[in-house]
């Protein structure tokens, strides 16, 4: 029975060194307790407030000492007609077998305090391979509380079907134990906060009607808090997209000629290598975009309760290589160039060499950039002919790339468990990338029209917020079946 109706107690329980304290850090969003890659790091049950609702009800998460010699403990429990008496009277173990004694204390505590047990397993091992799981199930049977099994240490993120197979493997193994109410992934390093929706649902179904009103108030508070963090993250991402979309460099017309010459050189029309203001402008745009991405990373880290900083060097390195790819002209561009300019490749070549005297600089620039955009390789920039000057901005194809980067960055942050430690940049799993790309492509976003239609930066930010929100919601639905 819950002694205090305002409190709901959950206990994290597992074999030692499986990751309870690490997962507690991830769920709490703060660094509690001690974590170490050895047995019996946590030596007594510790309570932490996971959440406090406006009516002062609390959700308490207990971190407990891990089981050690579970097989022996289970046998001892079975042999006792009065295990509680055994726990309280038998101080012998305290002196002779500290680990066993700690476990006795921990399970007595869990039995007295918890409404629901969160039992962690190391999913990198198969359930049959570790004898302690069965023994610990016997111990939990004695504790007689509803148990939700959480799969920890799941390794690299994998597509939903593969994760599902792993969950089923554990679910099948644990089927004989009726007190096991659910089996779900909850990796201390790589869970996504969205997966916690499912955990709340499972906890609710384990509670008695008497505890449900308290739980409902806590649940509503949790949803509000998470939605607020998500909204702040969206705002930060949309602000970044707007900055990039509105960024520009002004080019003297001479530098456009340089650029056209350098395109000509890449296509083999002009032999001499020329670097001009166009390259400088591209570097300036790329550097600013990298800088903003770094600021965005930091914002997302802070908003989402992580520690550490976005590594500028890493972002710059990536941007730089992007830029190089974008600046390299795809061989396909050569034939497209011909197509766009009505087949007059040689005429265009002549024009590049003379700086666009025949076709007119603007038309020539547009044709070439259009052709390259069609080829999808050097589509990094738009060259617009202004009244007095030429302006270079990011092209629609690049904006799509920035949108993808932003979505992938958010996914990385959303999956980064606080228990894992300081934030680290990492490569996104290929299936995230493919999923995000597909969802973005399916929206057929006209980046140019988006910018032209928006009256000001605020309106454009609103548009980007909607796009990012839609994209992320679809991703979460697809990865976790969760509607946030």
Ligand X SMILES: Nc1nc2c(ncn2[C@@H]2O[C@H](COP(=O)(O)OP(=O)(O)OP(=O)(O)O)[C@@H](O)[C@H]2O)c(=O)[nH]1
Residues that bind ligand X (CB under 6 A): 14, 16-22, 35-37, 39-42, 65-66, 152-153, 187-189
Query: Is residue 250 within 8 Å of 390, Cβ to Cβ?
Result: yes
Residue 398 binding target from Mg ion, ligand X, none, CB below 5 to 8 Å by type: none
Return the range that interacts with Mg ion (CB under 5 A); candidates 41-49, 222-230, 332-340, 394-402: 41-49
Q: Is 26 in the site for Mg ion (CB under 5 A)?
A: no
Q: Is 42 in the site for Mg ion (CB under 5 A)?
A: yes
Residue 9 vs 42, nearer CB to ligand X: 42
Q: In three state form, how does the secondary structure of 333-387 look?
A: HHHHHHHHCCCCHHHHHHHHHHCCCCCCHHHHHHHHHHHHHHHCCCCCEEEEECC
Residue 69 vs 280, nearer CB to ligand X: 69
Residue 219 binding target from ligand X, Mg ion, none, CB below 5 to 8 Å by type: none
Residue 20 vs 461, nearer CB to ligand X: 20
Angstrom distance (rounded) from CA 234 to CA 466: 9
Residue 259 vs 418, nearer CB to ligand X: 418
Return the range that interacts with Mg ion (CB under 5 A); candidates 35-43, 148-156, 435-443, 454-462: 35-43
Number of residues assigned to the chain: 484
Q: Using alpha carbons only, what angle is made at residue 295 by residues 292 and 299, rounded to the nearest 5 degrees? A: 135
Residue 34 vs 446, nearer CB to ligand X: 34
* b/e sequence 199-208, b meaning 16+ C-beta within 10 Å: bbebbeebbe
**Least distance CB 110 / Mg ion (angstroms):** 14
Q: Is 17 in the site for Mg ion (CB under 5 A)?
A: no
**Least distance CB 306 / Mg ion (angstroms):** 20
C-alpha separations of 337 from 110, 260, 374 in Å: 72, 12, 9
Query: Is residue 292 within 8 Å of 298, Cβ to Cβ?
Result: no
**Least distance CB 118 / ligand X (angstroms):** 12
Q: Is 21 in the site for Mg ion (CB under 5 A)?
A: yes
Residue 232 binding target from ligand X, Mg ion, none, CB below 5 to 8 Å by type: none
Crossing angle of helices 212-246 and 396-415, rounded to 10°: 150
Q: What is the binding site for Mg ion (CB under 5 A)?
A: 20-21, 41-42
């Amino acid at each position: 029975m819950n002694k205090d109706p305002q409190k709901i107690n959950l206990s994290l329980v597992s074999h030692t060194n499986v990751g309870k304290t690490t997962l507690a850090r991830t769920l709490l969003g703060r660094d509690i307790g001690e974590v170490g890659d050895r047995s019996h790091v946590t030596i007594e049950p510790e309570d932490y407030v996971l959440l406090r609702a406006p009516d002062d009800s609390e959700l308490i998460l207990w971190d407990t000492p891990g089981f050690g010699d579970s097989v022996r403990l289970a046998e001892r429990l079975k042999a006792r007609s009065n295990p509680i008496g055994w726990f309280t009277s038998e101080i012998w173990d305290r002196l002779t077998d500290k680990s066993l004694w700690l476990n006795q204390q921990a399970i007595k505590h869990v039995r007295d305090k918890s409404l629901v047990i969160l039992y962690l397993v190391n999913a990198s091992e198969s359930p049959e391979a570790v004898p302690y799981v069965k023994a610990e199930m016997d111990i939990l049977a004695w504790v007689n509380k509803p148990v939700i099994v959480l799969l920890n240490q799941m390794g690299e993120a994998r597509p939903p079907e593969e994760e599902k197979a792993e969950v089923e493997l554990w679910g099948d193994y644990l089927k004989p134990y009726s007190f096991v109410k659910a089996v779900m992934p909850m990796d201390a390093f790589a869970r996504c906060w969205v997966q916690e929706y499912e955990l709340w649902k499972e906890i609710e179904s384990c509670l008695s009607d008497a505890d449900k009103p308290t739980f409902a108030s806590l649940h509503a508070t949790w949803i509000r808090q998470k939605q607020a963090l998500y909204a702040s993250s969206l705002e930060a991402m949309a602000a970044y997209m707007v900055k990039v979309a509105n960024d520009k460099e002004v080019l003297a017309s001479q530098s456009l000629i340089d650029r056209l010459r350098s395109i000509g050189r890449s296509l083999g029309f002009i032999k001499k290598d020329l670097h001009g203001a166009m390259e400088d402008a591209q570097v300036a745009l790329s550097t600013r975009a990298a800088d903003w991405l770094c600021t965005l990373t930091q914002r997302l880290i802070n908003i989402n309760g992580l520690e550490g900083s976005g590594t500028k060097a890493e972002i710059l390195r990536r941007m730089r290589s992007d830029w190089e790819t974008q600046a390299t002209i795809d061989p396909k561009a050569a034939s497209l160039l011909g197509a766009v300019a009505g087949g007059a490749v040689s005429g265009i070549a002549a024009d590049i060499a003379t700086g666009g005297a025949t076709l007119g600089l603007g038309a020539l620039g547009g044709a070439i950039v259009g052709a390259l955009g069609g080829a999808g390789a050097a589509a990094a920039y738009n060259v617009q002919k202004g009244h007095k000057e030429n302006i270079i901005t990011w092209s629609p194809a690049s904006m799509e790339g920035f949108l993808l980067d932003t979505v992938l960055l958010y996914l990385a942050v959303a999956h980064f468990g606080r228990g894992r430690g300081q934030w680290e940049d990492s490569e996104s799993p290929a299936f995230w990338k493919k999923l995000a790309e597909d969802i973005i492509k399916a929206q057929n976003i006209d980046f140019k029209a988006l910018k032209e239609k928006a009256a000001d930066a605020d309106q454009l930010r609103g548009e980007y917020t909607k796009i990012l929100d839609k994209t992320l919601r679809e991703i979460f639905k697809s990865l976790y079946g969760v509607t946030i």
